[in-house]
Amino acid sequence: MGKFWVIFVASILILLPFLCNSFSPDTPTDRRVLVLLDDFAIKSSHSSYFNSLKSRGFDLDFKLADDPKIALQRYGQYLYDALILFCPSIERFGGSIDVAAIIDFVDSGHDLVIAADVNASDLIREVATECGVDFDEDPSAMVIDHTGYSVSETEGDHTLIASDDFIKSDVILGSNKITAPVLFQGIGHSLNPVNSLVLKVLSASPSAYSANPKSKLSTPPSLTGSAISLVSVVQARNNARILISGSLSMFSNRFFRSGVQKAGSTTKHEKSGNEQFLTELSKWVFHERGHLKAVNVKHHKVGETNEPALYRINDELVYSVEVYEWSGSSWEPYVADDVQVQFYMMSPYVLKTLSNDKKGLYSASFKVPDVYGVFQFKVEYQKLGYTSLSLAKQIPVRPYRHNEYERFIPTAYPYYGAAFSTMAGFFIFSFVHLYNK
Amino acid sequence: MAAPETSTAAVPTLYTNNTLRNAFGGVLSFFILLLIGVMAFSIRLFSVIKYESVIHEFDPYFNYRVTQFLAKNGIYEFWNWFDDRTWYPLGRVIGGTVYPGLTLTAGTIWWLLNSLNIPLSVETVCVFTAPIFSAFASWATFLLTKEVKGTGAGLTAAALLAMVPSYISRSVAGSYDNEAVAIFALIFTFYLYIKTLNTGSLFYATLNSIAYFYMVCSWGGYTFIINLIPMHVLLCIVTGRFSSRLYIAYAPLVVLGTLLAALVPVVGFNAVMTSEHFASFLVFIILHVVAFVYYIKGILSPKMFKVAVTLVVSVGLAVCCAVIAVLIALVASSPTKGWSGRSLSLLDPTYASKYIPIIASVSEHQPPTWPSYFMDINVLAFLVPAGIIACFSPLSDSSSFVVLYIATSVYFSGVMVRLMLVFAPAACITSGIALSQSFDVFTRSIKFQLPGISSNTEVDAAETSSATAEAQNDAVKTEKSEETSKNRPSKKSKKKEKEEKPSTKAKAEKRLLALPLDSSVISLLLLILLGAFYVVHCVWAAAEAYSAPSIVLTSRSHDGLHVFDDFREAYGWLRHNTDVDDKVASWWDYGYQTTAMANRTVIVDNNTWNNTHIATVGTAMSSPEKAAWEIFHSLDVKYVLVVFGGLVGYPSDDINKFLWMVRIGGGVFPHIKEPDYLRDGQYRIDSQATPTMLNCLMYKLSYYRFVETDGKGFDRVRQTEIGKKHFKLTHFEEVFTTHHWMVRIYKLKPPKNRIRGKTKKSKSKTSSTSSRGKRSGSGKKNPWQ
């Protein structure tokens, strides 16, 4: 054990430069993942999911959620890049982990996967609430759908749902279309519609509702229809990503392997969509996809190459930035036609779409407006599924210098004429007046 | 002081006696002037001795920063300086919006000293510019008063001005403000005007225009000159004192002065377009019309002249009416009638408080109280009326100018406390005249009646000799004599009143004017006592009242002297602990100091050129935390600075200025309403205060954690316990509080990384705030622990 620690500390020391920043600009993909479990049975019952992560190079560290030795950080450094909470019933974490520690973990840019379930503990609910997801407050409620359930041999209580209402985003769910419905059994949650950071990835059908299947429904259920979200993702402002699911069992080997036939539908799929859905989603959550970086922000006058300290009004300038997308192993040029730059002073004076050369270089050239002040080059790029790019570069714009105005204005020639003729006339008058006695 | 050469032949014996007297007097007055200059300089050094050699207050810091820039980058860079560190994000074109006189003066002095291998820092030069120029100002006062009433009055006036508290208040060492050089320029311009008026010399007229140009460069108060001189010219014309000297004194000033004034970037076309300059052009036209009429009168016979007058008047009146109608229409089309806000508030004292709270809010734009007259000019207030009477006997062109000067400046000083500064030189001149005249009368009475002194006959002889000399001058009346003599024309104008009085009669009159000996002696002693009172008061005012630099405060209590150096502590903290491009928001009072001392970008500063921008900051300060955070965030503000005096009892803090922020903010953003902050019309911060007041940002930033100091939250400025004691800040965090809590700096929290869900707020909130507290805990500092 002692030897192990020595090696561990040594590896930490070697890795230290890389640990300082979770998204190192070179490789944003997470590497070390802490998995907290209710009991180690989950490790084998959900092994397909874990193996798909391992095969993609993740270093999974399985711990019991109430293990008194677990810790997210040591000496101010985080030990992990991501956290998977497969422990829906835990009431209190072991070690130094609590809600605040998990939230701090996210706020410092790390990723989080939460799987809740029926009878999810207050602790898990609290973490979810902090992230903007509200689970049904009735602890024993499940999502029930009498039309969208998954057909099985035994007519159950229709809590095993087959849902195919996915978010339409290739970035989040991959470019291959998920054909088979996803099996879901668990608790539903709702999102605040004004919350712009959280996205419904898998929502329930309009006929679904959330209630306790064992008791008779006395009052109308609080959550109904497609307002119920089954799986949601959050991308925080610091681009940390969070996956929240109301069902732990949807990650299980059993659901991965089972066939699915949606009620009312004749097509029977040999294999449920769970594996494809969750694998693709995990690629997004762990930053294997949809991560952008902007580098080499440059601006200069047309015809020059050096970046000036300030511009003059009405200068012609060129602004360029390089945008790359992380493909999971390397940075590829990001190609889009909707990246815009603003020349901004309290409001955008210039708003221009950047043109790209398909190699990641975006550029635009425009004229500085006829207004002086402290401007900013702003690129605010927020696209569904991608990390947000927010670049701001301050640049003052000065008025003309005293000798940059035109010396003679054509419209003023009558005035010049008037002034000089008066001077000449005065001279002649003086001459005549003085010497004509 | 040399007597005219033409008189030498007439009375040679008396003349030699007289020259000796004059030479002795000349040397004596030279040394007196030198000593006055030394006194004017040294009485202003109390601030350096008591505190340190440091720039004072607010505006001087800006001037200092500009001077540094000038010294470093040269005049062309200064002229074209676009400053991106103030008025973020608008910026300010410093070169085009600043009166460059003071900066160029100090920059020139610095450059001169450096090229003489005297390595003084720019700051030292700036600190001592004002005392040096107050010495110049007292010499200029001597020259002006000498032109009006002779050397004695000049010396007295110069001595009075050297130590008048009103002027000291703006020119102590370190008070590096426009007024420091502008008062000298003002008096010197007036002197040259009077000099031209007395001599009729075109040389002095040109000098006068250049002096006026220097004044325009230095201070916005130059409009006082360009209105006062036309008023005087008009007065002279109306009272039938038109002469070619008046024409020479005025016409070149208007033409050259306006051309030169238009060269100053900050004035530019204003020199011909605003109503402040309108009077000068109108009088210029009137002067020419009058000159033309005099000329016509000279070449026509009286009868022809009468016909011509009726013809011209009937035609001219019609033309004039048309022109005036057009002018009035042009002027009336502008909303402010072509006047700037500050000038309008001078003409109508209630204007600013009604329409422009930003002007009314400045403490130096308030009307002064009666005690401030006694404080600032002391005994001069009693001597001024006597001086005015002295100016009327006899009334000359120059003495009527002094009367006009004092009459207008008394009015202006009554409108704005800042213009006491313009009033002070006028008061000194008239008081100097009064004192000198009364000394003259009393000493002469004593001389006449003291039996032991036999020389009084000699004096009489001297008097008669000068009188006869003058009579001769009148007889000679050549053009040449007018140029060679300096002193005569004033006497000449005096003589116009007397109209060739026989000298013997004058002598008899002087005998009659003699007062009884004992009363003369007593009055003399009383006058000296009065002067002594004045000196004592001035020294006290210079040492105690006006030498505090206001960035370092001191207070004396039973356990010794306390020094409050919180401002520099806070600016130093900002300079060392924040990023170079961070923006600091505060009320505009602290803008200049923040840019100069902390070198950080500010949103608004003491150059209140953009009312909307200031109103935005005022609105943010009067808004609840969240709204304020949004306003500040939209301006890229990183830090907010508030000044709080509640702990040590510093009365000019932001809470006391807060109502102005509400008014200025409400003037532009109507959702801020002043009555919301007042309980039954009363401004209070105790438990009776309105909820709007207790929830506004200014209250929260001022009183955050204040209760931790004494457990009650007792505000020593407002003398009450604060209304809301325990509260938390959600969008701001305290990053620095100075030793005496006088400056508190807060940082805007970044936008939340996540947006919370709805449920279980109460429970989860505690955990999240505790985590936040843990993170920011190290930044907080309580000086009382």
Q: What length does chain B have?
A: 785
Strand partners, B554: B563
Mean pLDDT of A350-366: 92
* Set of chain B residues whose Cβ sits within 8 Å of the Cβ of A93: none
Q: Please answer yes or no on whether B90 and A374 come within 8 Å at the CB atom.
A: yes
A344: nearest CA in chain B? B89
pLDDT at residue A381 above 50?
yes
* Set of chain B residues whose Cβ sits within 8 Å of the Cβ of A96: none
Q: Please answer yes or no on whether B79 and A130 come within 8 Å at the CB atom.
A: no
Angstrom distance (rounded) from CA A26 to CA A293: 10
Residue B595 vs residues A397, B77, B107, B384: alpha-carbon distances, Å: 19, 19, 20, 43
* Set of chain B residues whose Cβ sits within 8 Å of the Cβ of A398: 80, 82, 91
B770: nearest CA in chain A? A100
Q: Report yes or no: A104 at the B interface, CB cutoff 8 Å.
A: yes
**What is the pLDDT at residue A320?**
93
Residue A130 distance to chain B (closest CA, Å): 5
The predicted complex's ipTM stands at: 0.83
Q: Please answer yes or no on whether A192 and B755 come within 8 Å at the CB atom.
A: yes
Angstrom distance (rounded) from CA A374 to CA B83: 9
Residue A377 distance to chain B (closest CA, Å): 13
Confidence of residue B471 (pLDDT cuts 50, 70, 90): very low
Mean pLDDT of A361-366: 94
Residue B330 distance to chain A (closest CA, Å): 22
Confidence of residue B781 (pLDDT cuts 50, 70, 90): very low
pLDDT at residue B280 above 80?
yes
Question: CB neighbours of B763 closer than 8 A, spacing ≥ 6?
Answer: A126
- Give the nearest partner residue to A373 out of B80, B90, B581, using CB atoms: B90
Residue A120 distance to chain B (closest CA, Å): 15
Mean pLDDT of B48-72: 91
- Give the nearest partner residue to A374 out of B89, B759, B760, using CB atoms: B89
Cβ-contact A90, A66 below 8 angstroms: yes
Residue A122 distance to chain B (closest CA, Å): 10
| Beta pairing class for A389-398 and A311-312 | parallel
Closest CA to B205 of B215, B216, B193: B193
pLDDT at residue B461 above 50?
no
Mean pLDDT of B159-163: 94
Question: CB neighbours of B664 closer than 8 A, spacing ≥ 6?
Answer: B357, B358, B361, B611, B614, B615, B618
Count of other CB atoms within 10 angstroms of residue B86? 23
Mean pLDDT (chain B) is 83
Q: Please answer yes or no on whether A398 and B82 come within 8 Å at the CB atom.
A: yes
**What is the pLDDT at residue A153?**
66
Q: Please answer yes or no on whether A133 and B757 come within 8 Å at the CB atom.
A: yes
**Which residue, chain included where needed, has tokens 């379930």?**
A117
Residue B629 distance to chain A (closest CA, Å): 15
Write the DSSP string, B194-211.
HHHHHH--HHHHHHHHHH
Count of other CB atoms within 10 angstroms of residue A378? 17
Q: Report yes or no: A138 at the B interface, CB cutoff 8 Å.
A: no
Q: What length does chain A have?
A: 437
Q: Report yes or no: B93 at the A interface, CB cutoff 8 Å.
A: yes
Q: Please answer yes or no on whether A100 and B91 come within 8 Å at the CB atom.
A: no
A127: nearest CA in chain B? B764
- Give the nearest partner residue to A197 out of B82, B754, B763, using CB atoms: B754
Angstrom distance (rounded) from CA B705 to CA B781: 11
Q: Report yes or no: B768 at the A interface, CB cutoff 8 Å.
A: yes
Residue A365 distance to chain B (closest CA, Å): 23
* Set of chain B residues whose Cβ sits within 8 Å of the Cβ of A133: 757
Confidence of residue B377 (pLDDT cuts 50, 70, 90): confident
Range in A339-353, B171-185, B325-339, B359-373 with the lowest mean pLDDT: B325-339
Provide Rg for chain B, Cα atoms.
Answer: 31
Cβ-contact B643, B743 below 8 angstroms: yes
A242: nearest CA in chain B? B754
**What is the pLDDT at residue B495?**
43
Cβ-contact A104, B776 below 8 angstroms: no
Sign for the pseudo-dihedral over CA of B52, B57, B60, B62: positive
Cα angle A328, A333, A337 (rounded to 5 degrees) comes to: 120
In angstroms, the first-to-last Cα distance of chain A is 124
Type of residue found at A222: S
Type of residue found at B212: Y
Residue A188 vs residues A136, A168, A184: alpha-carbon distances, Å: 6, 20, 10
Angstrom distance (rounded) from CA A165 to CA A181: 8
Q: A-B interface: how many C-beta pairs under 8 angstroms?
A: 100
**What is the pLDDT at residue B226?**
92
Confidence of residue A8 (pLDDT cuts 50, 70, 90): low
pLDDT at residue A137 above 90?
no
Q: Which of A127, A137, A374, A402 to mutate to test the interface with B (most CBs of B within 10 A)?
A: A374
Cβ-contact B705, B727 below 8 angstroms: no
Strand partners, B747: B639, B733
The burial of B323, by beta-carbon neighbours within 10 Å (0-12 exposed, 13-18 middle, 19 or more buried), is given as exposed
Output the pTM of the full model. 0.82
Q: Please answer yes or no on whether B760 and A240 come within 8 Å at the CB atom.
A: no
Confidence of residue A20 (pLDDT cuts 50, 70, 90): very low
Q: What is the pLDDT of residues B610-619, one digit of tens each?
A: 889 999 999 9
Cβ-contact B142, B130 below 8 angstroms: no
